[in-house]
Structure 1
Amino acid sequence: MRSLVVALFAALGTGSAMAATVEPLDMEKIMANPDWIGQAVEKPYWSIDGQTIYYSLKRDGSPVRDLWRVSASGGTPERLDPAAVAAADGQAVFDREHRRAAFIRHGDVFLREGGRTIQVTRTSDEETAPRFSADGRTLQYRVGNDWFVYDIAAAVAAPAVVLRAGDDPDEKATDTLEDGQQALFSTLRKLKADKDAKRDAERDLAAADPGRAPRPLYVGKDLKIVDTELSPDGRWMLVVTEAKDHDAGKTPKLTHYVTDSGYAEDEDVRPYVGRKDPAPQSLLLFDLGSRQRYALKTDGLPGIGQDPLAALRSQSAAALRKAGKNDEADALKAPAVRPVIVNADYSPGVVWSDDGRHVAVELRAIDNKDRWIASVDFAHHTLVSEHRLTDTAWINWNFNDFGWLKDSGTLWYLSEESGYSQLYMRKAGASAKALTSGRFEVSHPVLSDDGRWFYLRSNRTAPYSYDVYRVAAAGGDMQRVTHYEGMDDFVLSPDGRQLAVLHSTSYMPSQLAAAGVEGTAPRELTDTRKADFRTREWIAPKIVEVPSAHGAGTIWAKFYRPADAAQASGRPAVIFVHGAGYLQNVHLSYPAYFREQMFHNLLVQRGYVVLDLDYRASEGYGRAWRTAIYRNMGHPELDDLLDGKAWLVKNQGVDPKRVGMYGGSYGGFMTLMSLLRAPGEFAAGAALRPVTDWTTYNHEYTSNILNDPQIDPEAYRTSSPIEYADKLADPLLIMHGLIDDNVLASDSIRLYQRFIELHKKNFWMSLYPMERHGFVHADSWYDEYRRIDELFREKLGQ
């Protein structure tokens, strides 16, 4: 066997003597702790002077991340010891003139001015979000939802506002009994007058003394503070609130069986979809000068009063009434004004212009059919809709960035309204202008400090190829800045002339380079791969176009085969199905599924070919590809996987009776849907941590695609593998972590019980007591993939 593997390595690449000296791949190696590969470069940022780039690397054998630095002009990277970390720059923000910089180090705020470093705070709190005020005289920062202002000249820090839940005690209204007491008793009247006089005198002193902390402001006793955003000029505070008594719904439990205590221990996890909607949110605007509070109502947003689910709601209500369930039918009634939340999980949420004169808020309906970007009319204390994005399926979780141009009155934002994420700008009162357009995606826009350029990540040249591009803020052609085709992230230098670029390839984790913004050749700064991994001959996946027989156009895929293409003929095949649903795995960067990619190398060595498809619902291909699964999960994707199998048979000579399938999470779900809805098509399948019944998955993801189960029960019946359990005919292996708090292990256990009751055969389950959704222990990885390997060997006959 060893001589065959060495011969294969020689055929795949250079045939060098080095390849022959490398130990052959085996399951123990590829499922070992990935430290043997080398660490990916993480979280790069520029030094304040723009000469050095800092970054993080995971320490071998430990979850600890060390801080490293390297000169942007090249040289040997240096790991910083604790003393050097204590003196290192943090990720800095600058004032308008770039004379001062501020950053966070070990949770405290530091100021750099004229070569001097000043420690602004030294607390046990975790300070975050430093920024300079609009006039540059103060430094603002926050602790949780509390904002502070550091007066640079006076070297004094103070709260910008003291914000509290509850009602203002000085504004408490009296009732008739209290009024009667005051009317009857002069002593009570005198006590109240003295109290009021003392309070008024204290207010006068506070108003005349800027050295005092501000008096508290109150949001109301029925509200909970979710977020606060202080304006750069220090005048306004925007507060996001929700009801204090919102019921989060019943939560299921999972059990830890292997514990330090020796006793089984329960853990609460997230609610099931539709059991409780997220808490609606509201906005309060505080004028910090006048101490006035204004509610920013959302009922004026366009389309806020329309129910996009009216037809489904009516249909389900009618069915419930027919079944005599009138209370449940009444509960489906839509509100007159749809509730909203601030879209802070998938966007900046709230963004102030640099001068504090403008603010934009991104709101989305809880049903996620609408997304609004609204500004605030400070004179009338109202929201003004600047942009509405509506989608009959659901608003994308990605591509929700927005902000202000440097002239501060012009809004920019990403929108999927054309069918693909593109960049737009809109001046107040004018129509929107597209800065980019085409059948490709743009994301992660960064506006240069001089306001002239947007830098973007885009797959303009091909769906699987990502690089940095730039476009002028005034409009013009997109210019390609990097040519990696596997660009992962970038950070603009303080002077705006360079980019710190993270880039990778199929077998190289993210590495760091410095590149000029004019497109000059980059300087490679790191290569963290270990020699054992770097010197191996890996199979470069071939990106192929699989034609859809179901009207979907092209399905992009990675194909793993022997170096000699003719050897693929007659081999069995394995189809890998990526997880997450909305994820792109057909690209030229280092994959999240790097272990699976090594497993695919091992499968090829053992005589298989492997196909990995970006089925419909995958990221990177536009809105229509993403939403093809709306109310119909597992159906368009199965069409695409069957088209992948047909391509293997027609173009690679694969035996149609020897095609297996495996995948985890959404890939596990699709493995189940494939075997249960297309029995006989696949010789065997391995479903890892699969969703088996969408009614027990979480709310945020599931309700977007299938609506609430009370409103759209048919979508759940159509989309859940457990509904097709009676169709099981092919060998199925199910594997699940017992402490998975994403897809609960009960999903797999319930399906297993269903198979038992249906008297099914050829199904097995393996449970992992110490694993959550993403396995982290090498022993579990090894055991899991050993079982998959044995399944394929036995059932695919190789």
Structure 2
Amino acid sequence: MNRIYYWLVLLSSASVFAQSPPKNHAPLTVETIMQDPKIWVGTSPSNPFWSDDSRTLYFNWNPNQAKGSPALSDSLYKVTFATNAARKAGRSTPLTASQPQKVSPTERRTLPAPPVSAYNRAYTQRLFERQGDLFLFDVKSGNSRQLTNTVETEIDPVFSGDEQRAIFRRSGSNLFSIDLKTGELTQLTDFRTGTKKADPKLTDEEKFLKQDQLRLSSVLKERKEKKDEADRISKADQPKRAKEIYLDDKTVINPQLSPDGHFITYRLSKRPANAKTAQVPNYITESGYTEDIAARTKVGSPVASQEFFVYDIAKDTVRAVSVKDIPGINDKPAYLQSVAGAKPDTAKKTRPVAISGPVWSDDGKLCVVVVRSLDNKDRWIMRFVPETLKLSLLDRQHDDAWIGGPGIGSLNSPGNMNFLADNQTLWFQSEADGYSHIYTINVLTGPSGSGGKKQLTSGKFEVQQVQLSKDKAHFFLQTNEVHPGEQHFYRMSVSGGRDGGPERTRLTTMTGANDVTLSPDETQMAIRYSSSNQPWELYVAPVIDPLPANKKQSSSQSVPSQNVSSAAIKLTNSPTESFKSYPWREPELVTIKARDGQIIYARLFKPATPSGQPSTGRAVVFVHGAGYLQNAHKWWSSYFREYMFHNLLVEKGYTVLDIDYRGSAGYGRDWRTGIYRHMGGKDLDDHVDAAKWLVQTQGVDAKRIGVYGGSYGGFITLMAMFTTPDVFKAGAALRPVTDWAAYNHPYTANILNEPQSDSLSYRRSSPINFAEGLKGYLLICHGMVDVNVHFQDAVRLAQRLIELKKENWELAPYPVEDHGFVEPSSWMDEYKRILKLFDERL
């Protein structure tokens, strides 16, 4: 009996120690960490962009914690640098910069829009749009010339192939051009809604009467001949106009003029009439009445059809591009072979596709489009000849799950690709070897020629961003090759190290995330940098070569944020004094072996305990949201509120673990598609294995583990509480998906196919089907005006739990919140409930 009392006292004393805040600091509270982040954390700089002369860096910032939405409270700041002549000469000269200065409203209104890709080939001029009007900017003089001043909206300006005109869209769909010398405005397309009204047709009786009247009356016949001749002359005298193209009930997407000015390509999309849109009721309104918010369709609803057209200007003809001869266009998805009860379908059916692009070579001689199947299991890169409408295969990427990964593009985007300096070689990204890497192919000779497909980067890492240098001799890349939880910036020859070319050169050194915005002259890097326990700040550094890629920094090494390259300058200091006064913990990055042998990356927050004393045994597993997201990394998380909450939990003696489960970003194709046809399968297994690892290695009590997360994290929490109820004692599911058949099409159909053709995937992936398994204590929190995961999901699950006579759960609704909460009062209420759940039940 005395021995039992001894251990109780020991555990109590250890718990008291673990709950102590860091020395000389008051304990964290939910009220503190969930208040307005502008007031408490500070606002990091964002959206950096350079002036065209590379002398001034602009960025949004709110160092004075002005209240309001980011659009109203963030102001434009600038930093001006000394001459960069020394760096152009190749010397690593330290930068000198002014202090950040707030840009006045007057100056802000006169600034050209941030640089975009609408430069001419020599980079001496660029086009930009501001408040619906177009401007031409001269880089050398810094002067802008206004091209339009209209009540209509002009957007997306680009130079014509001969660079003598600006091509743009006006009021939505139609293409126009402006002669940059004369100012002549020309309409290139005449897209019209509806259907062209045909001339009324005469009946046979009416035709007979008309012909008979002309036969009997020479006056009528003479008058008709004169009118016909006048009409012919009038028509001949009229200037040539763009062809009237009637759209019926379709929408024009991405009309483009070919560089030679002969063709216009465009896509037509038709939304099905029977696609039902969900309505989200909004109860807290200014009017006092319940108002419906139109949200979205649900997965499996009919999707928009797509067609690709070419308008031949000289021939005044419009032709549709046929895809029926594309290799594999008739292939059926592999999953259909395993669907129980499915009838074999031997008929050859052309799968619906979307064509994006075109991408033209600089000389305008070669053209590439990307064809993507609407089931997202195939992506074809094809040479396209608009004169003949011929499509020739360059590369096909197929995936039995779904095509994805960094730089791969989407149904509406061809992804990262363009031509090299020879105007024949196309570079693009592909997951062909399991990770997103850079490839090239000669478009003229095709895949079987001497310039066939070549891989420029390789390895178990992702190329996350790519930018071709202005001279087209180098790529600038962002990759995670040093460590899955780090992001660094590199320069690489377009030969990719082949044929004696140099290796990739790493241009950033700080451990964490280095998000680089390159200056227009490519001599300076604006670096948004953060570490795991410090928010984003803005640095600037010259483009020098501090660390070759073949001499990688060990993942165990750490370069503190203070030890930036000696030539770099830290421009901002954003956190508030209150935030900086707390010693925010740096989570330990650990790896955990999953049951199938795969390695899970995780962030571990450990409470302090006296030497030789047991831990409190309490643990919480956090589940990040999805889409394509990563959180076990070395930079400041977008889940910064949760990060601060984890610090609070550690103060109270909890061990906290945050894993990058199957489906997370950063780890390649197999990890990304590991959840195909079974969400809540391997991804949940990873969390169960992580919980077991906590027990085996961290002194955690197997009966005192909680789990929580939002969105996909809320979904996993439900699956954990329902299907592995003996692993997690308590769970908080925030804005969770409860039934994937109620979620959207673009995300869900990739992973689970469509519910009408793959019902098994939806049945085994939806928590509502397993609610009877609940044993532990469950909290559900959901915004009532959530237009992403609808509040209906939580309501349906609540009714299911009621019918199952479950009593150990509660639902907290938030009447004014969407998917991502906005109001500090809502954040506070939600996380007080989560903390109460864990404190009471763990």
The alignment's TM-score, normalised by the length of structure 2, stands at 0.85
SS at structure 2 position matched to 1:364: strand
Is it true that 1:25 corresponds to 2:28 in the alignment?
yes
1:91 corresponds to 2:137? no
Where does residue 353 of structure 1 map in the other structure? 361
Residues 394-447 of structure 1, C-alpha deviations (whole Å, 9 max, x = no match): 111643122222333221111111100001111122321111111110022111
- Are 1:134 and 2:138 counterparts? no
Aligned letter for 2:488?
D
**Where does 1:52-451 land on structure 2 (aligned, <5 Å)?**
52-57=56-61, 60-63=66-69, 64=72, 65-72=74-81, 73-92=96-115, 93-113=118-138, 115=141, 116-143=143-170, 144-165=172-193, 177=204, 183-186=211-214, 194=227, 198=231, 201-207=234-240, 214-221=241-248, 223-243=250-270, 246-247=272-273, 249-276=275-302, 278-309=303-334, 311-312=336-337, 315-318=340-343, 336-342=349-355, 349-396=357-404, 398-400=406-408, 401-428=416-443, 429=446, 430=449, 431-451=452-472
Distance 1:687 1:74, change over 3 A: same
Deviation larger for 51-60 or 783-792? 51-60
Deviation at 1:192, TM superposition (A): 9.2
Q: Partners in 2 of 1:759 and 1:221 — Cα distance?
A: 54
| Matched AA of 1:360 | V
SS of the residue corresponding to residue 465 of structure 1 reads: coil
For residue 487 of structure 2, give the secondary structure of its aligned residue in structure 1: strand
Q: Distance in 1 between matches of 2:236 and 2:52?
A: 43
Relative distance call for 1:464 and 1:180 in structure 2 (3 A) is farther
* 1:404 maps to amino acid: F
**CA, structure 1 residues 314+717, in 2 after alignment: closer, same or farther (shift >3 Å)?**
closer
Shift of 1:74: 2.2
- CA distance 1:765–1:220, change in 2 (3 Å): closer
CA spacing shift, 1:314–1:554, aligned 2, 3 Å = closer
Counterpart selection for 1:770 from 812, 816, 824: 816
- CA distance in 2: counterparts of 1:236 and 1:571, whole angstroms: 70
Q: Which residue of 1 aligns with 2:596?
A: 551
Distance 1:787 1:8, change over 3 A: closer
* Shift of residue 188, structure 1, vs aligned partner: 9.2
Aligned residues: 758
Counterpart in the other structure of 2:491: 470
Q: Which amino acid aligns with 1:147?
A: L
AA in 1 matched with 2:51 = S
1:408 and 1:182 mapped to 2: Cα distance? 61
The C-alpha deviation readout for 1:557-605, integer Å capped at 9, x for no partner, is 0011135696773430000000115311111122110000000000001
Aligned residue number for residue 510 of structure 1:
536
3-state SS, counterpart of residue 481 of structure 2: strand
2:191 and 2:247 in contact (8 A); partners too: no
Question: What aligned pairs does 1:553-592 form with structure 2 within 5 A after superposition?
Answer: 553-562=598-607, 569-580=615-626, 582-592=628-638
Whole-angstrom distance in 1 between the partners of 2:100 and 2:221: 75
1:648 aligned residue (682, 685, 694): 694
Matches within 5 A, 1:662-701: 662-701=708-747
CA shift for structure 1 position 626: 1.1
Do 1:665 and 1:690's aligned partners in 2 also have CA atoms closer than 8 Å? yes
How far residue 40 of structure 1 moved from its aligned partner, in angstroms, is 2.5
Deviation, 1:189, is 10
Deviation at 1:494, TM superposition (A): 1.7
Aligned positions of 1:744-763 closer than 5 A: 744-763=790-809
Q: Distance in 2 between matches of 1:458 and 1:81?
A: 37
Structure 2 distance, partners of 1:193, 1:724, is 83
1:498-529 Cα offsets, whole Å, 9 max, x none, are 22222222233332222333336333222222
> What is the CA-CA distance between 1:456 and the residue it aligns to?
1.4
Aligned equivalents of 1:314 and 1:555: distance in 2?
A: 31
- Are positions 1:9 and 2:34 aligned together? no
Give identity over the alignment, percent.
39
User: Equivalents in 2 of 1:517, 1:123: separation in Å?
Assistant: 42
Give the match's secondary structure for 1:618: coil
- Distance in 2, matches of 1:192 and 1:565, equals 109
Instruction: Call closer, same or farther: CA 1:742–1:765 in 2, change over 3 Å.
Output: same
Amino acid paired to 2:161: A
The 2-side partners of 1:675 and 1:570 are apart by 22
Q: How much is the aligned-residue C-alpha RMSD, in angstroms?
A: 2.8
Q: CA contact under 8 A between 1:166 and 1:218: conserved in structure 2?
A: no
State the alpha-carbon separation in 1 of the partners of residues 651 and 375 from structure 2. Answer: 48
Paired residues of 1:237 and 1:287 also in contact (CA < 8 A): yes
Kindly state the Cα deviation for residue 293 of structure 1 after the two structures are TM-superposed.
1.8
Residue 312 of structure 1 contacts residue 711 of structure 1 at CA under 8 Å; is this kept in 2? no
Partner of 2:84: none
**Of 444-453 and 265-274, the range deviating more from structure 2:** 265-274
**Secondary structure in 1 matching 2:607:** coil
The correspondence of residues 702-713 of structure 1 with structure 2, limited to 5 A, is 702-713=748-759
TM-score for the superposition, normalised by structure 1: 0.89
Q: Measured at CA, do residues 581 and 546 of structure 1 come closer, stay the same or move farther in structure 2, by a change above 3 Å?
A: farther
Q: Does 1:624 align with 2:645?
A: no
Contact conserved, 2:367 with 2:385, CA < 8 A, in 1?
Answer: no
The C-alpha deviation readout for 1:229-268, integer Å capped at 9, x for no partner, is 223443321110023x622512222211111011111222
Q: CA contact under 8 A between 2:438 and 2:455: conserved in structure 1?
A: yes
- Quote how far apart the aligned CAs of 1:763 are: 0.7
SS in 2 for 1:532: helix
SS at match of 1:260: coil
> Are residue 716 (structure 1) and residue 722 (structure 2) matched?
no
Q: Can you give the 5+ residue segments of structure 2 that lack an aligned partner in the other structure?
A: 1-12, 82-95, 215-219, 409-415, 498-502, 547-564
CA offsets 1:55-80 (integer angstroms, 9 cap, x no match): 22357311224222112442211221
User: What CA distance in whole angstroms lies between the structure 2 residues aligned with 1:190 and 1:426?
Assistant: 66
Distance across 1 between alignment mates of 2:661 and 2:471: 41
SS of residue matched to 1:462:
coil
CA distance in 2, matches of 1:140, 1:602: 56
Give, in whole Å, the separation in 1 of the partners of 2:226 and 2:747: 58
Considering only CA atoms, is the larger Rg found in Structure 1 or Structure 2?
2
Match of 1:45 in 2: 49
User: 1:9 offset after TM fit, Å?
Assistant: 2.3
Q: Which amino acid aligns with 2:353?
A: V
Q: Supply the distance in 2 between the matched residues of 1:395 and 1:453 (Cα, whole angstroms).
A: 27
Q: Is the 8 A contact 1:5 1:24 kept in 2?
A: no
Partner SS, residue 482 of structure 2 = strand
User: Structure 1's 744 and 40: CA in aligned 2 closer, same or farther, altered over 3 A?
Assistant: same
Match of 1:112, SS state, is: strand
